[in-house]
Structure 1
């Protein structure tokens, strides 16, 4: 099958199948699927506030999708993005609360470093266990998600929560660490673009991360070693590539990218550290990486799609007579078809391309 068909046709057909089944489910509860789809489009794309929320969610998914994608290239399945993002948020909070900054731009340099380092550190132990002891990366990263949640809960309740407060959250960050929102950047008198939306400057950091990951994977020696190791560990070893080094380095980069998600949720939107700061984006990043074929451009586009589904689904549940649980079903169907059932679409397409190639001869 041609590369363009694998990159474009397979995900597109998967999305269409998910949309058709979702339409059937909406019909089954007595609602109009066209009306529902138009409500999602109107809520997510037709207003600047909706676009702001769509891009806010997409920013989270870009970071976590890139994290999964980098690990995928080394044939590692990092399911620990959720925990790495939580611990990255802890790094952001410590920097914002305990270092006085005169301006948000200076604080951003330090919070990028802290989020990346804390996320990478949380990925280090599973990476070492996989590389040196053979512990499966899927199991260890899942376990570390729960450990991260327990650690964050303990730190918030016993160490960082302000005296007398009931909510497990830190105090608000100083104003000099608050990131500019899209409203701050693009609104003007008489033109209140993005009013009320949480999208902020971290979106552009996520876009820059896409470019840097592309350069890393396809334009550096390390990226070549990661891809070679992912294609064949035996051949990579024969070529002098260390499996231990690649496993650890790929997971460190993956964990750092997941940790950077905290820039958006913790420093950008909440402006404090709360208990559920990762918002489930670590798991959505798996579907984003699968749909995007582990390529930064594909990850970016898939993140926009899931940002649309999240914001459009919220609008649909709010305005239409459709239960919130059905919105979760629609999102789950997209994940199911683009991830778990990928071969259901791929295999018939491969047979079709093979048939037409034989006929052309």
Structure 2
């Protein structure tokens, strides 16, 4: 049996896994070189291995990662009283692992090369999601994330890895994306949604304009006060009543004056309270979101905007031969720019939901 089949049978029989959790295929298979997983635990044959690996902090991510130590640094101790498996069974398991390693040498080498490439380039940590809806889809039965499997279909990860979820339905990726885009476009173009977006945009713009004006007025008053103080100090110095203390204070005031002038020079100009064609602009941007996905130069920006509009998409299986029912929770940014990364101000958020109907799921 494969590790996945074994894990499913253990879960079906109600046998608890490590720490009372469910079994998964990786719990059994583990990592041969690291000695992890049931199939690689030498403690079962009465051998305790210390210092096989160490943990270090990855400077590029700040995360704690494991590194395998050289075999010469391993410390092996025989503990025969802990043996629960005989040598013949252990050797048979190792032989089976060797056979599988040869059979799957190509895919294993490809995965290792991909990990090596990712580790060699720190920018790989900023890679975009694998697909438009990656990380947004969840199972309506167990709440586990949906992942892309063979034949470009989404499926419940928990059903696939350990069989603990009964949701065996899968959904074609193109069908799901098409349904989500159609639902978002329909909802965002609704008059009440457009009106709410424009109203919130105007309120936020006006609020930021008021804050900028108030801040600039305070700084200009402080500049006028500094100018008077500098003038008074210069008069004292020219009259011969100056001292080192006055010179030091003069330098402080001049430094603060330069700082305020630099800050005022960088303050952006006020945005217009309401653009005269804001409703038309909003409708045009929403209408071309899906079209932009097919345009290479606009695809990344459009995908970011679309993902920014969605919090989660829950897929609920229905009886056989009926498409799965999907429910999207919308993250509305209330911005007529439709979530573009070039927006110049922060956005308020509100939550809503969109029922996007059947998505062509099947068993």
Question: What's the TM-score once normalised by structure 1's chain length?
Answer: 0.20
Higher relative contact order (CA 8 A, sep 6+): 1
Larger Rg: 2
More helix by share: 1
Instruction: Tell me the TM-score normalized by structure 2.
Output: 0.20
